[in-house]
Structure 1
């Protein structure tokens, strides 16, 4: 409420005994006041000289040189500047001197000014309460003592299924089904937490009598939609009995309400603000709203946003970890269009936010489980070469799964037959490129010119100018596995580096470059770093591809996997050929003792051979021994130093055994020559010599 000091006319001049009435009139006209205080020499207030007093003595008797003291009246009442307008607006005098707390004259105020300021304050408060009424989230309905509806806010129109225009002025029972509001008027007893249902919507209602001078003059019902929340059976706080209906509404609102002036200072707030903000709501009154922002209670200053927007603003705030608030700001405009009040409504959405976060956590957990299930399924669906019980191979498969989730190149290092190609396929299948193509090229099986064409493509010169695309282009958005990349010629390695670096492929100078997006997976029998040091592998290609090297262990390094792999291949071949064969214990022991230089590929071929050639249901140790070593069938002599033999003959026999074993393990003269460290022509010559010596 305004105070006298806010509406008075401040004075720095008073009248003394030496002033004339002419001086008094001049000062009153300059200061635009209707009277002036008259003081003695000690500054004590003796009375007032007013325009009305001059007029009462008659204009015809007015002489400017007359003493002002002749017009002095002692019919006055001094007011303190801190006095509320509500206490003085109906006093009997027309003008009053205003004193400060030190009893010093600081101004004057007229009764007209008091009435005008008091009327403006009452009008402003009415606008303020009306804005609160209309912006409240809760439905509000009030009736008078006769049961006639006196007010209905927009939030109450939906549950009552009527409008303000249709309802106001009519009897309550003629508009809605009675909800107990008439009973509150009759007995004057408030009701809290009452439930009622309209259609499928559930509401909780507070009904409070409106008291005036201790008498019930009506009742107000405040109700909130609780259909979307399972547990919101919290009673609304008890409210003070107020003399005015709209003040009761503010205090009984479940939402927090803060009312600020145009400068952002808090004029009043309700108890719900303290509950939501976990602070003393009484202590907030009189403080700037900006303090709540500076202390970190709010991240955004809604006062500033409302002024900037010039209208309604709604924001979401999280002042505490357990609170999520929907805050709305509504401006109240003066007749001149200026914002004089801002009504802030705060709704606690913590429970809904908690449910939303719980749902998000469940979703993330579900995605994690799905990823783990997919990984397990991929392991189960993998070929025999990828079945593993050993720690060393499980680590390899786990690393392969992790790199499948990214797009980096991978180099698989391991002996022939360990399953590098199957691991490359597994990486492709589990990656985001799984829907794209997968191509494989053996870099050691093709001549240099054909390998270049297979990789990069070739433009065929004919009348139709048809081009043959390479696998790097065909596998766009897919993967290419380069087997034995260590055998790739150096000039092709250099071209591959440029393609991988630029992400483009250009078959000829005349043809435009093609953008490609292909992932490279490479396999090698030997560590590429050693070849780089020997200048047999392009260093730029090494650093481009060797982002994630994976060493695949030989079968002899993971004996735990041998029995599961044997049983898997046995079952596969039994189903394939319609048999039900098994291994004897002696046969299993021979398989465990064998070094398996050809790794999984050798084992798979050997088991199929045993299943097909064995006459009995039980494959014996003798059959396994015969196939594994073929001691009696081999035409080669075993060099045993039991006596002196010609040195040249011993060397020839040993060379024949080595060449034959290399051909058995590697299959081609090129690979056998590489394993033996000789030229291919040497291997061919030794084989021909061996064939000639055996009569073949």
Structure 2
């Protein structure tokens, strides 16, 4: 029979497990405003700070030894963040739904102290995210890595050493001086979200909310509520505020706007024309003042010609256009981008490394089809996995060996072809490359246009360990 545990003894025992002792350390952890859980690599709680206990609704002695998905009532499909962090031994962040239906951001950081391996899980709740204008399920977690992102929120800086990117920055700054919709066009991972943030920070709305809503991969009915809100239902005392209302007097970014369903294209067009937003099941419109910015990696003119996107909405959104070039068109920015990424990693994980000039030259010649997002993943992988303080040309060259898809001739070899087996081989190769290039299941899923749960299931099916 286990002896009874008090909050103090449970906290002290957990801290001792990672080589820390004393009430002073326990007090410091409790002073942190964000909920903080210390977990075993299997996901069981060994300690939790005061904010985490408040979120879980239980004292620390009642949380110790319980699985984190049970403590937070994480839905099974969302419970991949800790496992992914452990499997890859890197920090992983993602949004999920916890008890009470609240959407939060979980950040899992593997930690090894001596012979003890733990995972530190930070929970960013709506209160924390609100200070950066981010909350709710459809709002993205800034996986669209952008040039020179050296920190979070307002500390983001656009690194523009090349004339091409400097011109884009100047264009974005000019857009900030007027109050009209902006369409940001560029390949996935090129940095559209950062330029949207730059426009907001340089505009008269800089002190107001800045939200991002993803238009892809979300059921239309859920996306409609996320954007426009919902009137009170029988089982709710208060209405649900949509992103438009939460962004009132601020800015709202519609990420991947080409994925907006036709019916919502019509509703968004009406809002842009009138400023009135009708909540789902609402009995009256709400007059709102929101600057709309939209990002896309697709040719909206072609979609308009194909009747897949409303022409009126395209012209409304495209009053101002910012075109973000792919990284291969401005390779001279790579050294400055790498330096900014190294600074960010040093601040986040405490590892300071240097990249040699020869290694930078190899990086500049790399095509980076995943753009700055792929560069960020490369730098993080090299910093976290390579020994020593210097990353040299040979190490970058070794990492540059990219797996290829199975040759068609190989798939069609033999007298009889199993089409299903061939398709599985191609699918596995695509998933393997996406996980290698983008680093996490969440980012791979976003790039492939599928749900993270699909990537997790397929990775397990093909034994990819992602």
TM-score range, shorter chain: 0.5 to 0.7
From 438, 441, 445, the counterpart of 2:210? 438
From 663, 672, 696, the counterpart of 2:448? 672
1:581 aligns with 2:353: yes
The root-mean-square deviation of aligned C-alpha atoms, in Å, is: 3.7
From 191, 196, 204, the counterpart of 1:419? 191
Deviation (angstroms), 1:618: 1.7
1:512 aligns with 2:284: yes
Structure 1 segment 325-364 matched on structure 2, within 5 A? none
Deviation (angstroms), 1:614: 1.4
Deviation (angstroms), 1:654: 5.4
Structure 1 spans left out of the alignment, 5+ residues: 1-378, 675-679
Distance across 2 between alignment mates of 1:407 and 1:424: 13
1:567 aligns with 2:312: no
Structure 1 segment 147-162 matched on structure 2, within 5 A? none
1:488 aligns with 2:260: yes
Q: Which residue of 2 aligns with 1:646?
A: 414
Distance 1:507 1:620, change over 3 A: same
Q: Which residue of 1 aligns with 2:397?
A: 625
Distance 1:508 1:485, change over 3 A: closer
Distance 1:574 1:494, change over 3 A: same
Secondary structure at 1:542 match in 2: helix
1:410 and 1:546 in contact (8 A); partners too: yes
**Deviations 1:458-515, CA, capped at 9 Å, x for gaps:** 0121377411111111211111000011111110111111111111122267633221
Distance across 2 between alignment mates of 1:421 and 1:637: 30
2:378 and 2:437 in contact (8 A); partners too: no
Secondary structure at 1:386 match in 2: coil
Distance 1:450 1:585, change over 3 A: same
1:393 aligns with 2:165: yes
**Deviations 1:188-230, CA, capped at 9 Å, x for gaps:** xxxxxxxxxxxxxxxxxxxxxxxxxxxxxxxxxxxxxxxxxxx
Deviation (angstroms), 1:669: 5.3
Secondary structure at 1:459 match in 2: coil
Distance across 2 between alignment mates of 1:446 and 1:673: 11
1:403 aligns with 2:175: yes
1:439 and 1:471 in contact (8 A); partners too: yes
Q: Which residue of 1 aligns with 2:321?
A: 549
Structure 2 spans left out of the alignment, 5+ residues: 1-149
Structure 1 segment 595-634 matched on structure 2, within 5 A? 595-629=367-401
Structure 1 segment 205-284 matched on structure 2, within 5 A? none
Deviation (angstroms), 1:623: 2.7
Distance across 2 between alignment mates of 1:435 and 1:401: 17
From 174, 184, 201, the counterpart of 1:429? 201
1:475 and 1:518 in contact (8 A); partners too: yes
1:383 and 1:422 in contact (8 A); partners too: no
Distance across 2 between alignment mates of 1:384 and 1:628: 28
Q: Which residue of 2 aligns with 1:110?
A: none
Distance across 2 between alignment mates of 1:509 and 1:638: 51
Distance across 1 between alignment mates of 2:243 and 2:405: 47
Secondary structure at 2:314 match in 1: helix
Q: Which residue of 2 aligns with 1:691?
A: 462
1:484 and 1:523 in contact (8 A); partners too: yes
Distance across 1 between alignment mates of 2:312 and 2:377: 38
Secondary structure at 1:431 match in 2: coil
Distance across 2 between alignment mates of 1:562 and 1:516: 41
1:385 and 1:565 in contact (8 A); partners too: no
Deviation (angstroms), 1:625: 3.1
Distance 1:659 1:464, change over 3 A: closer
Q: Which moved more, 1:591-600 or 1:421-430?
A: 591-600
Distance across 1 between alignment mates of 2:460 and 2:198: 44
2:230 and 2:282 in contact (8 A); partners too: no
Secondary structure at 2:400 match in 1: helix
Deviation (angstroms), 1:398: 0.7
Secondary structure at 1:458 match in 2: coil
Asked which structure has the greater CA Rg, the reply is 1
Structure 1 segment 528-543 matched on structure 2, within 5 A? 528-543=300-315
Distance across 2 between alignment mates of 1:609 and 1:531: 37
Secondary structure at 2:206 match in 1: coil
TM-score when normalising by structure 2: 0.58
**Deviations 1:496-554, CA, capped at 9 Å, x for gaps:** 11111111122267633221111100000112111111111112211111111211001
Deviation (angstroms), 1:665: 5.1
TM-score when normalising by structure 1: 0.40
Distance 1:617 1:452, change over 3 A: same
Distance across 2 between alignment mates of 1:640 and 1:463: 56
1:592 aligns with 2:364: yes
2:265 and 2:313 in contact (8 A); partners too: yes
Secondary structure at 2:321 match in 1: strand
Deviation (angstroms), 1:587: 2.4
1:384 and 1:568 in contact (8 A); partners too: no
Deviation (angstroms), 1:641: 7.5
Q: Which has the higher strand share?
A: 1
2:185 and 2:321 in contact (8 A); partners too: yes
1:574 and 1:611 in contact (8 A); partners too: no
**Deviations 1:234-275, CA, capped at 9 Å, x for gaps:** xxxxxxxxxxxxxxxxxxxxxxxxxxxxxxxxxxxxxxxxxx
How many pairs does the alignment contain?
A: 306
Q: Which residue of 2 aligns with 1:448?
A: 220
